[in-house]
Structure 1
Amino acid sequence: MLWLCSSVILLCHIHSGLSSPSVIIVGAGPAGVAAATKLLKNSINNITILEAEDRIGGRINSVKFGDGIVDLGAQFCHGEKGNIAYELAKNLNILEPGLRSLQNNVYYSNGSRLDPSLMEELKQEYSGYDKLADQDFNTTGKSLGELFIQKYNSTLLKKYEREEDKLKIVKEGLRFLEGYIVVHEGSFSWFDPSAECDYKQCEGNQALVWKGLGYNAVLQIMMNNYPDPAKKLPIDDKIHLGAKVKKINWNQSETVTVETSDNSYSADYLIFTPSIGVLKREKDSLFNPPLPSFKLQAIDATGFGGVMKIFLHFSTKWWKDEDRAFSFFWGEEDLSVVDFPDGPTKYGISWITQFRYILKVPDNPHVWVGWISGELVPEIERLPLKTLKEGCEHVLNKFLNGKYNVSGISQMLRSTWCTNENFGGTYSYTKTGFYKRGLSYQEKLAEALDGVEGRPRVLFAGEATNPVHYSTVHGAIETGYRAAENIIQLHKNKK
């Protein structure tokens, strides 16, 4: 009876505003926060935000570690022109250039530093990988990996075919560069993303960081909590944390109803913002009636893999002041040598070979961030922290102890995006074999579900629903604003 009373109160609360529509927002990530703040700024206050996690932010997760803030999720503001995240922050002096692309400080698995000039050539190959589809190649139906290998074979491999020592490194460089490319793409393999896609890069610096504040700063800006907390929008009491949605009943006469484990909520509109990973897992059970076929096709066409970040704190400084990055380049003969037996393997190759590189964390003097990519990421996320720490120390010692006296890791923090059921991965891409010019599966994902009266009832937002800026925070924010604006216009037209 108490449960029934509380549900009635919730329903009455949501429908109490007669002059303003009621809106449920599922997910309090950048898309959900963007939608909520735009609605609030347009006097639509009857909002309920349901967030499955115990925090807001979604795949933005800025936390205290070491002597500063680190980003377990989104870290870089990618570009300036046409980037809404940049526009929100540009006048606040909180963005600065960070490190992201392949650096020349590359070490081989025998402990030697590789020739910087040769590494610069690899870097140039990598830096143009996402423009391959614009060059004179047959890209139809091909994966990004296929196209890159084709181009690589015709350039670097051909150039060094008569220089045996360098040719060995160049051949091994394919696997090395794949590690970087899948970090950028968010896929487990470079054969997963399509060589053709509709993604558009915003002009400007692709690796802007947040001057020690973390990407959480952009959420605070949207909520008017930064730089002046006194101007914060009335959003906190509208957010329900730990509210995992179990069922969405959307084809009803006048409302959409959302069921969580302990409550039921009803409203005029719903904005659904969870990741494509959630949709892939729950597409057949979450929606009542089931999702239409065009939506299921779009979910299937959208790739969603994972990248893992590890933050390493060292009590003792072992690096030089000028060091900002170290990359780990495995020789072919070292890949299958079992010198670290603990943890998962793939094709006889240890997970430690997927520990790609480390970058110095700005404004955090004893902390480095490491990147792990590849097919074993979900299994690596599940490793005991002790095994993960020992494996990372093994790699650091194997590659760097010839030049550095690497100290032990005193503290470690890791991301778990793939194994967290509320995300299921990191960011989306277009799958190989699914790209069709003139047909955007991102736009299909974004299409609303209409209620029985023929009006949009459920709207979709989130990075995977952005036709040109998917996989980014600014793409997610754009879709949140888009969904909110659609509701604003629908309400105006209904009056």
Structure 2
Amino acid sequence: MDSAVLMVLAGCRSPLMGWHISLIISLWKRSLLRQMLSDKLSMNSKNSLKKSPKVVIIGAGIAGVGAAGKLVKQRFTDVQIIEASCQPGGRIRSSLFGKSVVDEGAQYIHGASMKNPIFQLAKEHGLLEQAHNKSGTEWAVFTNTHKQLDLDFTEQIRNLATSILKRAHLLAQEKGYTQAKSIADIFLGEVKILLAQWRGDHVDQRRQKLGVLSMFMKWQCVHLATNGLGEVSVHEYEEYKNIEGDDRNSQGLFPSLLQKLLDDIPRDKLLLEKPVKQILWNGNFESENGSHYPVRVVCEDGEHILADHVIVTISLGCLKANSQSLFWPRLPEQYLHAIQNMGFGTMNKIYLEYEAPFWGENVDIIGLVWEDESPLSGQKPNLVEWWRRVPAFYVFRPTERYGHVLVATISGKEAEFVESLSPEEVASDFTKLLRQFTGRPSLPMPKNVFVTKWFSDPYIRGSYSHISVNSTGDMIDALVEPLPQTTEGTSSPKLQLLFAGEATHRSYHSTTHGALLSGWREADRLIDHYSTK
């Protein structure tokens, strides 16, 4: 009954009519109340449907935790993270060493500005004071013949090498290198041109220049977590996008930030030590209460977890090792092709603690140049002399917090091999190396050694991704498409399998901000799906 009718009836003076009016109004109010209650129940039912889908997230790295946090904030009430290891974090991990805690994995904010979500969150949670220690730039560069090279000289050669890498994909086009596939193809071609220009140099100087270039190549291999630049696509630096801002050395920040993100997620929504054996999808699995779900996650302990949606944040290294058996039905061929061909390698850190420093007070980096090495001789694995793969040692600061600590970085097969060595073997080999380069036979042994072991971790199997010579950025985009694929005439529930993790971000692969953004991306996909349903 509309308000106009009520106003007309209310204007009638007859007592009988007044009684009828009261009855009509009373009945109308009851009807209105019932309708409002019905609408509310219907609305609650719709809201319940929107908020109650069961989402299982495999992996409690920053991608998985980020996805869960966003879903929980959007009132998805049935979100479960299952993590294979005994602690959350994935490749964010820290360990006690020396006087403090050191980062085994993620350490740098790549692009310390408000355009970086990691930087934004760190600022929001008051964690940036942990990132005040920028990576130093004061070099001391030694050769294997215990010469200390002039810093202007080494800087000039390193700038040449950096320029080549930054322009690699353009050089491939400009010079008509249509057959060039790897960064090494371009880099070595340019080195040959430089070598011709250096023909008039003294032989020792020419060797030192080539040695610096070789050191730089090893450094880039560490940066890319690869065995050699011959494995990396010439389009790697074209696909990867830098965020404005410096690379901020942020020891200890990432574990603290991860904990802040975990604080938004109810504790019972995280299950640890829960490795996944198989993911069965595109099915119709019935739960104990009679509900039906399209996905069943089978854990190694025998437990089965049913889900409407599963966000897979497993590392690319782990996917490479297990993708054939992990999913049933098997993933479509283009997904398997992308997983197997995208680049993923190992970079390890080796921490050394000394009673007292043997390096200069202002030295931040100790560079190692082998005068008998040249980029043109290639980068073949050399496990017998594995230490040759280390381009530099970094001084940890502030000393008051960490003590007298150096950290070496190493990549490739040598990085995998060093995981098998004892701390005593590493200490002995590094001591011989540093005595040779500094020309100080009495240089002390480190009192403590710690080696990260990312390759032998069965739930990681390496460090991070890159665009390999066998892959493209398009493959990353292909892997990001949810399953089952949407085709006309199919009635399968949508968005059963979604993929996140640093290797699924085309522009920011290999980074924590890429991993976090990928988790948010898949959370948003589900949020949008239910908000428009």
Match 1:169 to one of 208, 212, 231: 208
Match 1:448 to one of 482, 495, 499: 482
* SS of corresponding position for 1:389: helix
- Name the aligned partner's letter for residue 371 of structure 1: T
Return the alpha-carbon distance in structure 1 between the equivalents of residues 470 and 89 of structure 2.
32
1:242 to partner: Cα distance: 1.2
8 Å contact kept, 1:125–1:152: no
* SS of corresponding position for 1:77: strand
Give yes or no for the alignment of 1:241 onto 2:265: no
Match 2:168 to one of 124, 132, 135: 132
Return the alpha-carbon distance in structure 1 between the equivalents of residues 329 and 383 of structure 2.
45
Match 1:369 to one of 403, 407, 411: 407
Tell me the residue number matched to 2:371. Answer: 331
Q: Deviations over 1:32-60 (max 9, x none)?
A: 11101111111113121111111111111
Tell me the residue number matched to 2:240. Answer: 199
Tell me the residue number matched to 1:359. Answer: 394
Return the alpha-carbon distance in structure 2 between the equivalents of residues 184 and 24 of structure 1.
33
- Name the aligned partner's letter for residue 173 of structure 1: V
- Name the aligned partner's letter for residue 115 of structure 1: D
1:122 to partner: Cα distance: 2.0
TM-score by length of 2: 0.80
1:222 to partner: Cα distance: 2.7
8 Å contact kept, 2:298–2:304: yes
Tell me the residue number matched to 1:394. Answer: 432
Return the alpha-carbon distance in structure 2 between the equivalents of residues 127 and 90 of structure 1.
31
Query: Can you give the 5+ residue segments of structure 2 that lack an aligned partner in the other structure?
Result: 1-47, 285-292, 375-379, 486-490
Which residues in structure 2 correspond to 1:97-246 (within 5 Å)?
98-99=134-135, 104-128=139-163, 129-135=165-171, 136-138=174-176, 140=178, 141-155=180-194, 157-164=195-202, 165-197=204-236, 198-205=239-246, 207-210=247-250, 212-223=251-262, 232-246=263-277
- Seen in structure 2, the aligned counterparts of structure 1 residues 385 and 476 have a Cα distance that, compared at 3 Å, is same
Match 1:30 to one of 62, 73, 77: 62
Give yes or no for the alignment of 1:86 onto 2:123: no
Tell me the residue number matched to 1:53. Answer: 85
Tell me the residue number matched to 2:530. Answer: 491
Return the alpha-carbon distance in structure 2 between the equivalents of residues 114 and 67 of structure 1.
33
TM-score by length of 1: 0.86
- Name the aligned partner's letter for residue 265 of structure 2: P
* SS of corresponding position for 1:321: coil
Give yes or no for the alignment of 1:480 onto 2:515: no
Q: Deviations over 1:136-159 (max 9, x none)?
A: 34454420111111223323x233
Return the alpha-carbon distance in structure 1 between the equivalents of residues 499 and 156 of structure 2.
42
- Seen in structure 2, the aligned counterparts of structure 1 residues 152 and 83 have a Cα distance that, compared at 3 Å, is farther
Return the alpha-carbon distance in structure 2 between the equivalents of residues 60 and 100 of structure 1.
22
Report % sequence identity: 29
8 Å contact kept, 2:211–2:371: yes
- Seen in structure 2, the aligned counterparts of structure 1 residues 34 and 391 have a Cα distance that, compared at 3 Å, is same
Match 1:252 to one of 275, 280, 283: 283
Match 2:335 to one of 276, 282, 295: 295
8 Å contact kept, 2:281–2:294: yes
CA RMSD of aligned residues (A): 2.3
Return the alpha-carbon distance in structure 2 between the equivalents of residues 380 and 108 of structure 1.
23
- Seen in structure 2, the aligned counterparts of structure 1 residues 100 and 191 have a Cα distance that, compared at 3 Å, is farther
- Name the aligned partner's letter for residue 40 of structure 1: V
Which protein shows a greater Rg? 2
1:454 to partner: Cα distance: 4.7
8 Å contact kept, 2:157–2:213: no
- Name the aligned partner's letter for residue 376 of structure 1: E
Tell me the residue number matched to 1:428. Answer: 465
* SS of corresponding position for 1:90: helix
Tell me how many residue pairs correspond in the alignment. Answer: 453
Q: Deviations over 1:439-474 (max 9, x none)?
A: 611111111112861511011000010011111110
- Seen in structure 2, the aligned counterparts of structure 1 residues 139 and 249 have a Cα distance that, compared at 3 Å, is farther
* SS of corresponding position for 2:426: helix
Structure having the larger proportion of residues in helix = 2
8 Å contact kept, 1:358–1:368: yes
Tell me the residue number matched to 2:104. Answer: 72
* SS of corresponding position for 1:332: coil
1:346 to partner: Cα distance: 4.3
Match 1:96 to one of 120, 127, 132: 132
* SS of corresponding position for 2:207: helix
Tell me the residue number matched to 1:39. Answer: 71
Q: Deviations over 1:174-224 (max 9, x none)?
A: 32221111011111111001011311111110x2022x534213313333x
8 Å contact kept, 1:88–1:221: no
Tell me the residue number matched to 2:16. Answer: none
Return the alpha-carbon distance in structure 2 between the equivalents of residues 172 and 315 of structure 1.
31
Q: Deviations over 1:220-241 (max 9, x none)?
A: 3333xxxxxxxx3233321111
1:349 to partner: Cα distance: 5.5
8 Å contact kept, 2:240–2:506: yes
8 Å contact kept, 2:294–2:493: no
8 Å contact kept, 1:417–1:424: yes
- Seen in structure 2, the aligned counterparts of structure 1 residues 121 and 374 have a Cα distance that, compared at 3 Å, is farther
Tell me the residue number matched to 1:10. Answer: none
1:416 to partner: Cα distance: 0.7
8 Å contact kept, 2:143–2:370: yes
Return the alpha-carbon distance in structure 2 between the equivalents of residues 144 and 174 of structure 1.
14
* SS of corresponding position for 2:161: helix
Give yes or no for the alignment of 1:412 onto 2:438: no
- Seen in structure 2, the aligned counterparts of structure 1 residues 139 and 445 have a Cα distance that, compared at 3 Å, is farther
Deviates more, 1:185-194 or 1:483-492: 483-492
* SS of corresponding position for 2:282: coil
- Name the aligned partner's letter for residue 167 of structure 1: R
- Name the aligned partner's letter for residue 203 of structure 1: E
- Seen in structure 2, the aligned counterparts of structure 1 residues 196 and 138 have a Cα distance that, compared at 3 Å, is farther
1:433 to partner: Cα distance: 4.1
- Seen in structure 2, the aligned counterparts of structure 1 residues 139 and 492 have a Cα distance that, compared at 3 Å, is farther
* SS of corresponding position for 1:484: helix
